[in-house]
Amino acid sequence: MEPQFLRKNTKTPEHSFYCRYAEVPYTYDQFHYHKEYELLYILQNNGTRFIGDSIESFNDHDLVLVGPGLPHYWQSDVEYYQNNEDLKAKVIVIHFEKDFLGQDFFDIPEMNQVKILLSKANRGIHFSRDVAMILGEKLLAIPEKTDWLQITELVSVLSMMAEGEYKTIASESFSNSYHQSNNEDRITGIYNYLIQNHHDDLSLSDVANFANMNTSAFCRYFKKVTSKTFSDSLNDIRIGIACKKLINSDLSIAEIGYSCGYQSISYFNRQFKKVKGYTPSDYRLKYLNNIKFSA
């Protein structure tokens, strides 16, 4: 299932960004993406969150920032579809464009940490429960404020998010498919090389040669910059691309494993489960079951 592009109307004559609190029977939104950032806070709801190649459970006080072009949706659990008037999904959603405060606003020194945060949102960002609980009240207050007070409150929220505890969601390889980086530094070049050649039998020496480094220096450099070993990063990239194929194609598990550079399907299954927590077949089934249930 290919994600759909949705056009959002974030700007009006009265507002430079979109902010809404909603109480609905359940959340279901087709797998989609858009050019705006999306900040979603769950006050009450539980189900499955799909962001890029990530499939994870969510519940109350879930706070996520999704970057432009990253496919996503939130699927409520079955109990929310039972016409129970006492059980509602309660959410607040904010959409804003990168330049909603002016083209260079996030380039000023005071906004540097927020700029870094926004750059990481191309993989989706999940914030710790403590951060979500602290910022929940501030987010709820934004729709009630007027004019410039909405702006200052949102900037305050973004600044606090940048200083809080969070983790990225989708794999590097999945987000790279939707975002073409203009960063030409060494590590970006290495990652692009891994992504473009993930289906080959890549060795450490192959990649070190590409980076014009000997293997020992390359290993030290790569671990220092990424906090991962070369083999772990290559495996993450292959698994991320496999996830995309499991979602968007009818290829068999074996075909996907071989096409992603694995020489052994049993090894592919073990590595996939190690990274994603599911076997490839269970991952595909879980995704398809959620799609069918909500169709």
Nearest-angstrom CA–CA distance, 181 and 100: 21
In the predicted model, what is the mean pLDDT of residues 41-63?
88
| Whether the predicted pLDDT of 184 surpasses 60 | no
In the predicted model, what is the mean pLDDT of residues 74-96?
88
Give the model confidence (pLDDT) of 238-295 as tens digits. Answer: 998 898 789 878 999 999 999 999 999 999 999 999 998 999 999 998 877 765 444 3
Nearest-angstrom CA–CA distance, 205 and 203: 5
User: What is the pLDDT confidence band of residue 171, given thresholds at 50, 70 and 90?
Assistant: confident
CATH tag for 172-294 (out of 2.60.120.470, 3.40.1710.10, 2.70.98.10, 1.10.10.60): 1.10.10.60
Question: Sign of the CA dihedral 194, 196, 197, 198?
Answer: positive
Give every CB contact of residue 170 below 8 A, 6+ residues apart in sequence: 51, 52, 53, 54, 70, 123, 124, 240
If we measure between CA atoms, which residue out of 139, 259, 142, 155 comes closest to residue 199? 259
pTM of the complete model beyond 0.85: no
pLDDT score of 182: 39
- The β-bridge partners of 112 are none
| Whether the predicted pLDDT of 177 surpasses 50 | no
Q: ∠ at Cα 255 (250, 261), nearest 5°?
A: 130
Nearest-angstrom CA–CA distance, 132 and 205: 44
Provide the residue ranges of all domains of the chain, joining segments of one domain with +.
4-168, 172-294
Overall CATH class of domain 4-168: mainly beta
Same fold, 4-168 and 172-294: no
- The β-bridge partners of 156 are none
pLDDT score of 85: 82
Which has the minimum average pLDDT: 27-31, 187-191, 193-197, 229-233?
A: 27-31
DSSP-H helix ranges across the chain: 112-120, 129-141, 148-163, 172-178, 186-196, 204-210, 215-226, 230-248, 253-259, 265-276, 280-294
For the chain, give the mean pLDDT. 86
pLDDT score of 34: 87
Which has the minimum average pLDDT: 17-21, 80-84, 104-108?
A: 80-84
Question: Which of 45-54, 112-121, 176-185 holds the top average pLDDT?
Answer: 112-121
| Whether the predicted pLDDT of 183 surpasses 70 | no
3-state DSSP assignment of residue 43: strand
